[in-house]
Amino acid sequence: MSTTVSTPAYVEPVTRSVHVAATPARAFEVFSTGIGRWWIPTHSILASKSPQASVTIEPRVGGRWYERGEDGSECDWGHVLAWEPPRRLVLAWQLDAQWEFDPALVTEVEVRFDPAPGGGTDVTLEHRCLERYGAGAEAARSGLASEGGWSGLLERFRQLGG
Amino acid sequence: MAYQSAFAALADPTRRAVFERLRAGPVSVGEIAAGLPVSRPAVSQHLKALREAGLVRHEADGTRRLYEVDPRGLGELRSWLDRFWSDSLAAFKAEVERPRAKAPSTRTSPRRKAPR
């Protein structure tokens, strides 16, 4: 598997996979340009606290990955690192531990769409370069101290998940 | 919580430098100290803090003690992301497999859908 990092990973990546009854091309399309149709709307970090209206991945390398609120405000989450339909998509996830966009932080989310032996598509997602969170630890520490920081969000998602 | 102590432990620049030294593989205190402008006892203190934060572990190699990154470090962050992506992929699967004859979801992207 190709990678855009040269340093060894020293925090194990998060890897999840799911089988879908669709072709790789359709799975890729729904995941990327169709992300606004399935993204869980509470997974939102808009500063305005406005309800989430849309999530967008612009279909090209360098394209923005962002959300927009019903009030029109936008929040960047990252950008497209690799756009290789129908088999591979790599996104930069650039949210720091305070849940704010940090252009200096790049963690990577690679999604692969492989034809499954029995039909359909195996979708595999890897979120890596998590060790880079260590570099932002100075900022993270202050964020962690507040309810609105990482711990607050963790708690919020825990409650959502029940 | 574990992830909080991990971030707090890495907030110290020297400690972060010590942690960075472990990226290439297990190393001894002496090897770490050789590349840094700090004493061996100071390095040992930093390693102790990193161990207590769950970021570093050690193993015996003869009479030497070798330190390495504990891959379970930042575990809270990892487990949160694990669950985050599980939930997200489940929602993605539901959308991909939703019969296309039905009316589209009201939550649509502002962008036009790419041609199939």
- Name the residue among A29, A68, A135 with its Cβ closest to that of B116: A29
Tell me the percentage of chain B whose pLDDT exceeds 90.
Answer: 30
Q: Report the C-alpha gap between A122 and A86 in whole angstroms.
A: 12
Cβ atoms of B34 and B49 closer than 8 Å: no
Identity of the highest mean pLDDT range in A126-140, B1-15, B58-72: B58-72
**Domain map of chain A by residue range?**
14-134
Residues of B with Cβ-Cβ distance to A154 under 8 angstroms:
76, 80
Q: How many CB pairs under 8 A join A and B?
A: 144
Whether residue B88 and residue A30 make contact (CB cut-off 8 A), yes or no, is no
The β-bridge partners of B67 are B27, B58
Least confident of A42-51, B50-59, B74-83, B101-110: B101-110
Identity of the highest mean pLDDT range in A24-28, B7-11, B22-26: A24-28
Distances B104 to A59, B40, B96 between C-alpha atoms, Å: 21, 64, 12
Among B74, B83, B92, the strongest candidate for a mutation testing the A interface, having the largest count of A CBs within 10 A, is B92
Q: Give CA angle at A65 (A154, A155), nearest 5°.
A: 5
Whether residue B113 and residue A31 make contact (CB cut-off 8 A), yes or no, is no
**Rounded average pLDDT over B40-68:** 88
Q: Token pair 């991990």 is at which residue?
A: B6
Distances A48 to A52, A58, A72 between C-alpha atoms, Å: 10, 23, 10
Identify the DSSP state of B60. E
Among A5, A11, A153, A157, the strongest candidate for a mutation testing the B interface, having the largest count of B CBs within 10 A, is A11
Residues of A with Cβ-Cβ distance to B71 under 8 angstroms:
10-12
**Rounded average pLDDT over B23-49:** 89
The larger pLDDT score, comparing residue B80 to residue B68, is at B68
Strand locations in chain B (E): 56-61, 64-69
In this prediction, residue B103 carries a pLDDT of 52
Kindly give the confidence (pLDDT) of every residue in chain A, 162 residues in length, as a single tens digit, with 9 standing for 90 and above.
443 333 434 567 889 999 999 999 999 999 999 999 999 888 888 888 899 999 999 999 999 999 999 999 999 999 999 999 999 999 999 986 556 788 888 889 999 999 999 999 999 999 988 777 754 443 444 444 344 444 444 444 444 443
Cβ atoms of B102 and A32 closer than 8 Å: no
| Residue A101 burial (C-beta neighbours within 10 Å; 0-12, 13-18, 19+) | middle
Which residues, including other chains, have CB under 8 Å from residue A161's CB and lie 6 or more apart? B83, B87
For the segment(s) A14-134, the CATH number from 3.30.530.20, 3.40.50.720, 3.30.1360.200, 3.40.50.300 is 3.30.530.20
Residue B60 near chain A (CB below 8 Å): no
Cβ atoms of A106 and A114 closer than 8 Å: no
Whether residue B96 and residue A7 make contact (CB cut-off 8 A), yes or no, is no
In this prediction, residue B60 carries a pLDDT of 86
First to last CA, chain B: 47
Residue B110 near chain A (CB below 8 Å): yes
The larger pLDDT score, comparing residue A3 to residue B67, is at B67
Q: What is the CATH number of domain B2-69?
A: 1.10.10.10
Cβ atoms of B20 and B14 closer than 8 Å: no
Contacts 24+ apart (CB under 8 A), A114-118: A114/A24, A114/A87, A115/A23, A115/A24, A116/A19
Residue A44 tokens read as: 């939102």
Reply yes or no on whether the pLDDT at B59 is more than 50: yes
In this prediction, residue B19 carries a pLDDT of 82
In this prediction, residue B11 carries a pLDDT of 67
Residues of A with Cβ-Cβ distance to B94 under 8 angstroms:
38
Whether residue A20 and residue B93 make contact (CB cut-off 8 A), yes or no, is yes
CA of A34, closest CA in chain B: separation in Å?
7
Tell me the percentage of chain B whose pLDDT exceeds 70.
Answer: 70
Cis peptide before A86 (omega within 30 of 0): yes
In this prediction, residue B71 carries a pLDDT of 66
Q: Give Cα A26 distance to the centre of its chain.
A: 19
Interface ipTM: 0.78
